[in-house]
């Protein structure tokens, strides 16, 4: 049975709670561009940091890079993007809408949303024609063809052109990788489904350079490592699957390619969140030819030189953040209460706010004690202080923000110098002395469990 479509409720929760806003909303919005609000920027930063940790900091065979968005225009000729980075575009002469010919099943007919484009009797689709997805602009004050530059449609090319710079600067030996996180731009024909397909997005890409002949064994290892990373984010196992590219889908230079797909529910269903590709030596060979600069690796041990093969892992920071939001959203009944609750059950490490701090009343020294505790915890964790409204409502507000821990200061706290920690997922509570709160939260976060349950620690 397909999982329910939660995108509409997510869009309204995201706006209401400050995860994601439509770009330039007061002007009617910009086509498929989104802004991350206070909770969203923390969530997405946590995703990016987790990736950077796993891919760069925790390894000694991957180096970091931050290449510029604007590159020499020849880069995009060498990479094949000028000639071939296009999607098939069809127009509907009846309603004037435009669609990607290979993704007609992902969108609705504007005249009859229950049908797909081409299925309604009025539809008059043209033959597909190729549409280049790169955004063009001009470098310098003169707007002529010699000044054309592109906004990069992927971060990978910044890595390829810096391959020898990084190798020589770090004295890494093949096999080794280069990783970077950065913005990419694609003039998508049919963007949509919230932040799933946008025209400006962030990629987290890693290119791993290996000796030809050893590529498939590295490929298998990276494929598994990347799936494990997604599982470590708390994405449900049965919402993740590999999709192997068919002969038709496979780029001409690629030796193998798998997508990691996530089930977004509803009609979107399983869709790519990451690609793991064996790109052979295509990219380095192209850049070597177009730049006339040797890009070979000199293997001093084996006394030979060669162009390494490249294994690429490419994941969208926004798309995986959307998967995390979809995976986290739960509407559930609360035993003994009439109203249910909405919970964003984020992995605690990803949660934008780690703890809510609530004095039970606004008197008897409770706000002062809570304020002091909040200030101390802020040095290590993102915390949110809230003294407004009934305690149940304050818990609910933090459940919706995905805050894993709620710390309550009550009448006994001021006497005994202790507090209650309430857990978002099982709503269990433990009593902890004030001086130990940071340690207990730290222990939960270090344990890196995908859920916050009161039985685990304490």
Q: Which residue, 24 or 416, is less far from ligand ATP as judged by CB?
A: 24
For 128-155, give the DSSP string. Answer: PEEEE--EEEESSS--SGGGEEEE-S-S
Provide, rounded to whole angstroms, the least separation between the CB of residue 48 and ligand ATP.
13
Say whether residue 230 binds ligand ATP (CB under 6 A): no
How many residues sit close enough to ligand ATP to count as binding (CB under 6 A)? 16
Say whether residue 275 binds ligand ATP (CB under 6 A): yes
Q: Which residue, 85 or 405, is less far from ligand ATP as judged by CB?
A: 85
Say whether residue 318 binds ligand ATP (CB under 6 A): yes
SS3 20: strand
Record the tokens describing residue 357, joined without a space.
């701090």
Q: What is the rounded distance in angstroms from the CA atom of residue 438 to the CA atom of residue 383? A: 11
Q: Which of 206, 93, 69, 85 has the alpha carbon at shortest distance from 149? A: 69
Residues within window 298-317 making contact with ligand ATP, judged by CB under 6 A: 314-316
Distance of CA 294 to the CA centre of its chain: 35
Q: Which residue, 315 or 357, is less far from ligand ATP as judged by CB?
A: 315
Provide, rounded to whole angstroms, the least separation between the CB of residue 102 and ligand ATP.
9
Spatial contact of 455 and 428, defined as CB atoms under 8 Å apart: yes
Q: What is the rounded distance in angstroms from the CA atom of residue 168 to the CA atom of residue 172? A: 7
Which range in 114-122, 271-279, 329-337, 446-454 contacts ligand ATP by CB under 6 A? 271-279
Provide, rounded to whole angstroms, the least separation between the CB of residue 9 and ligand ATP.
21
Distances in Å between the Cα of 370 and the Cα atoms of 90, 375, 421, 437 are 60, 9, 13, 12
Q: Which of 193, 432, 207 has the alpha carbon at shortest distance from 311? A: 207
Residues within window 147-176 making contact with ligand ATP, judged by CB under 6 A: 154
Give the residue, chosen from 186, 218, 396, 422, that forms a contact with ligand ATP under the rule CB under 6 A: 186
Say whether residue 319 binds ligand ATP (CB under 6 A): yes
Provide, rounded to whole angstroms, the least separation between the CB of residue 258 and ligand ATP.
11
Question: Apex CA 368: angle with CA 366 and CA 369, to 5°?
Answer: 65
Q: What is the rounded distance in angstroms from the CA atom of residue 298 to the CA atom of residue 314? A: 27
Give the residue, chosen from 157, 167, 198, 398, that forms a contact with ligand ATP under the rule CB under 6 A: 198
Residue nearest to ligand ATP (CB): 316
386 phi and psi angles, rounded to 5 deg: -145, 120
b/e map of 100-113 (b: 16 or more CB within 10 Å)? Answer: bbebbebbebeeee
Residues within window 25-44 making contact with ligand ATP, judged by CB under 6 A: none
Say whether residue 106 binds ligand ATP (CB under 6 A): no
Provide, rounded to whole angstroms, the least separation between the CB of residue 170 and ligand ATP.
25
Residues that bind ligand ATP (CB under 6 A): 154, 186, 188, 197-198, 201, 203, 272-275, 314-316, 318-319
């Amino acid at each position: 049975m397909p999982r329910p479509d939660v995108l509409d409720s997510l869009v309204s929760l995201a706006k209401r709670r400050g995860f994601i806003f439509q770009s330039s909303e007061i002007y009617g919005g910009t086509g498929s561009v989104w802004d991350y609000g206070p909770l969203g920027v923390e969530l997405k930063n946590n995703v990016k940091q987790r990736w950077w940790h796993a891919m760069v900091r925790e390894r000694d065979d991957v180096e970091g890079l931050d290449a510029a968005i604007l590159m020499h225009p020849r880069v995009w000729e060498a990479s094949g993007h000028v000639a071939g980075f296009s999607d098939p575009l069809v127009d509907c002469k009846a309603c004037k809408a435009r669609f990607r010919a290979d993704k007609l099943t992902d969108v609705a007919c504007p005249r009859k949303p229950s049908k797909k484009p081409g299925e309604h009797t009025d539809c008059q689709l043209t033959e597909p024609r190729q549409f280049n997805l790169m955004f063009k602009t001009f470098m310098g004050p003169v707007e002529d063809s010699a000044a054309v530059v592109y906004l990069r449609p992927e971060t990978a090319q910044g890595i390829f052109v810096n391959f020898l710079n990084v190798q020589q600067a770090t004295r890494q030996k093949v096999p080794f990788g280069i990783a970077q996180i950065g913005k990419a731009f694609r003039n998508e024909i049919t963007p949509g489904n919230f932040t799933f397909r946008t025209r400006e997005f962030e990629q987290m890409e890693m290119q791993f350079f290996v000796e030809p002949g050893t590529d498939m064994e590295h490929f298998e290892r990276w494929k598994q490592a990347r799936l494990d990373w997604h599982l470590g984010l708390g994405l449900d196992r049965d919402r993740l699957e590999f999709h192997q590219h068919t002969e038709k889908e496979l780029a001409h230079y690629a030796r193998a390619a798998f997508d990691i797909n996530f089930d977004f529910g509803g009609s979107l269903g399983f869709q790519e969140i990451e690609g793991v590709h064996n790109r052979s030596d295509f990219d380095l060979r192209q850049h070597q030819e177009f730049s006339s600069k040797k890009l070979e690796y000199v293997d001093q041990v084996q006394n030979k030189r060669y162009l390494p093969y490249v294994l690429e892992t490419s994941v969208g920071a926004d798309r995986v953040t959307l998967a995390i939001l979809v995976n986290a959203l739960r509407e559930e009944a609360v035993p003994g209460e009439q109203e249910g609750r909405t919970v964003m059950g984020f992995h605690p490490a990803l949660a934008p706010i780690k703890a809510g701090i609530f004095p039970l009343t606004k008197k008897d020294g409770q706000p002062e004690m809570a304020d002091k505790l909040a200030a101390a915890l802020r040095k290590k964790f993102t915390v949110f202080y809230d003294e407004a409204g009934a305690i149940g409502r304050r818990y609910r507000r933090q459940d919706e923000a995905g805050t894993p821990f709620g710390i309550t200061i009550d009448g006994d706290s001021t006497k005994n110098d202790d507090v209650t920690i309430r857990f978002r997922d099982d709503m269990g509570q433990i009593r902890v002395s004030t001086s130990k709160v940071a340690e207990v939260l730290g222990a939960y976060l270090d344990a890196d469990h995908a859920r916050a349950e009161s039985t685990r620690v304490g």
